[in-house]
A and B are shown apart, each in its own frame.
Chain A
Amino acid sequence: MIDEKPVASPGRSDDFESGEARTRNTLRRGNPLESLGGGAVRLAQDLGGIVILTGQVLRALVPPAIDGRELVKNLHKMGNRSVPIVVLTAFFAGALMMLQTAPFVKKFGATSLAGWGAGYAVLREIGPILIALMFSGRVGANNTAELSTMTVTEQLDGLRSLAIDPIRFLVVPRVIAMMVMLVALTVIGDLVALLGAAVVGRAMLEIDFSTMYHSFADNLKPYDFLHGVYKSIAFGAAIAMSSCYFGVTVRGGAVGVGRAVNSAVVAAAVSIMLLDFFLTYLSA
Chain B
Amino acid sequence: MSPLARRRIDRASSEPAGAEEPNPRSSITALGTTALGASRAALELWRVFVGTIAGILRGFSRSGDRRGRPKGELVRQLHSIGNRSLIFIIVTLGFIGMVMTYQACLQLGRVTGDYSQVGSQFLRLIISDFGPTLTALMLATRVGAGIAAEIGSMKVTEQIDALRMSGVLPIDYLIVPRFIACVVMTLALAVLGSLVMHAAGGLTAQYSFGVNPGTFYDLSFIRGRHIVLFIVKALAYGAAIPIVAGFCGLRARGSSEGVGWATTAAVIGGSLSVIVLDFIISAAALVLTEGDL
Residues of chain A touching chain B, judged by Cβ–Cβ distance below 8 Å, are 1-4, 6-13, 15-16, 18-20, 22-24, 26-27, 65, 67, 85, 88-89, 92-93, 95-96, 99-100, 102-103, 106-107, 120-121, 124-125, 129-130, 133-134, 136-138, 141-142, 144-146, 148-150, 152-153, 155, 158-159, 162-164, 169, 200, 204-205, 253-259, 261-262, 265-266, 268-270, 273-274, 276-277, 280-281, 284
Contacts and interface: CB of A to CB of B under 8 A. Distances in A.
A98 B141 CA distance: 25
B36 to A, nearest CB: 16
Contacts of A254: 152-153, 156-157, 255-256, 258-259
Given A11-B167, A261-B260, A269 B141 contact: yes
A265 B141 contact: yes
A12 B68 contact: yes
B72 interface: yes
Contacts of B287: 204
Nearest to A97: B129
A175 B103 CA distance: 30
Contacts of A120: 103, 107
A20 B141 contact: no
A96 B282 contact: yes
Contacts of B166: 8, 10-11, 13
Chain B interface main SS type:
helix
Nearest to B269: A137
B250 A2 contact: yes
Contacts of A130: 137, 275
Contacts of A107: 292
Interface string B124-161: 01001100000001100110011011101100110000
A133 B275 CA distance: 12
B100 A125 contact: yes
The 8 closest A-B pairs by CB, nearest first: A19-B70, A145-B260, A258-B149, A23-B72, A10-B68, A137-B267, A8-B167, A106-B291
